A and B are shown apart, each in its own frame.
Chain A
Amino acid sequence: DVKVTQSSRYLVKRTGEKVFLECVQDMDHENMFWYRQDPGLGLRLIYFSYDVKMKEKGDIPEGYSVSREKKERFSLILESASTNQTSMYLCASSPRTVNEKLFFGSGTQLSVL
């Protein structure tokens, strides 16, 4: 069974802090994604990566950056956390083509105070 692991289930940070959200998958998937989930807005794509060191902006990349130094790991970085970035963050991975099942992590609930 594919496992997508997010390092933290809950995280509380202060405004202005630099925040790292880590995601690791164990199925050698090429594609990895970061989504943000907010009530009434569904899942919004922040960034995705289709290969090591490759990244593409999604719909809401402002205030975020990503890093993919190894195939299995995709990190989301909040350079200077703000209160409007309080949200549930979901990582996902999929095989070579995105027209395949997405495997999601359990999510990280981030609160920025």
Chain B
Amino acid sequence: GENVEQHPSTLSVQEGDSAVIKCTYSDSASNYFPWYKQELGKRPQLIIDIRSNVGEKKDQRIAVTLNKTAKHFSLHITETQPEDSAVYFCAASIEGNNDMRFGAGTRLTVKP
């Protein structure tokens, strides 16, 4: 089955700096790659996703890039703010398979 690896496990940045979280996946058939944000004590919520037919997607300060050849995708957060502090999970799924596999998570801390 699919295996998703995520790095780093913890990331600390200064407010205003950029943050990058990277994930790799094992199954070349995977074609949907979402990112979830989980604030302390709250449920994970989708922040952005990308499908395999595009290489990059942006939403304000957040962007995701996908390299299908290398089987890796990344989350980029620019101009970080303290409210970006959370645990971020990447995930991958294969169309037609009704399941989704998550990475181990990255705890991002943005220092004021």
In Å, the complex CA distance between A102 and B104 comes to 17
Q: What 1/0 flags go to B40-84 for Cβ under 8 Å of A?
A: 001111100101000000000000000000000000000000000
Q: A107–B102 contact, CB under 8 A? A: no
Question: Are A42 and B103 also in contact (CB < 8 A) when A99-B51, A101-B46 are?
Answer: yes
Q: B43–A105 contact, CB under 8 A? A: yes
Q: Tell me the total A-B contact number using a CB cutoff of 8 A.
A: 62
Q: A107–B43 contact, CB under 8 A? A: yes
Most buried by A among B32, B44, B45, B95: B44
Closest beta carbon of chain A to B105's beta carbon, Å: 5
Query: Main SS of the interface on chain A?
Result: loop
Q: Using Cβ atoms and an 8 Å threshold, which residues of chain B touch A35?
A: 102
Q: B100–A45 contact, CB under 8 A? A: yes
Q: B98–A56 contact, CB under 8 A? A: yes
Query: B24-49: which have CB < 8 Å to A?
Result: 31-32, 34, 36, 42-46, 49
Most buried by B among A42, A102, A105: A42
Q: B104–A48 contact, CB under 8 A? A: no
Query: A62-113: which have CB < 8 Å to B?
Result: 90, 97-99, 101-102, 104-107
Q: B104–A42 contact, CB under 8 A? A: yes
Q: Using Cβ atoms and an 8 Å threshold, which residues of chain B touch A105?
A: 43
Q: A42–B99 contact, CB under 8 A? A: no
The verdict on B7 contacting chain A, using a C-beta distance below 8 Å, is no
In Å, the complex CA distance between A104 and B38 comes to 11
Which listed residue, A50, A90, A98, A107, touches B100 by the CB 8 Å rule? A98
Q: B44–A42 contact, CB under 8 A? A: no
Please give me the residue from chain B that is nearest to A91 by CB atom: B43
The verdict on A27 contacting chain B, using a C-beta distance below 8 Å, is no
Please give me the residue from chain B that is nearest to A54 by CB atom: B98
Question: Are A43 and B98 also in contact (CB < 8 A) when A99-B31, A101-B34, A105-B43 are?
Answer: no
Chain A to chain B contacts (Cβ below 8 Å), 7 pairs = A33-B99, A40-B9, A43-B44, A102-B100, A104-B43, A104-B45, A107-B43
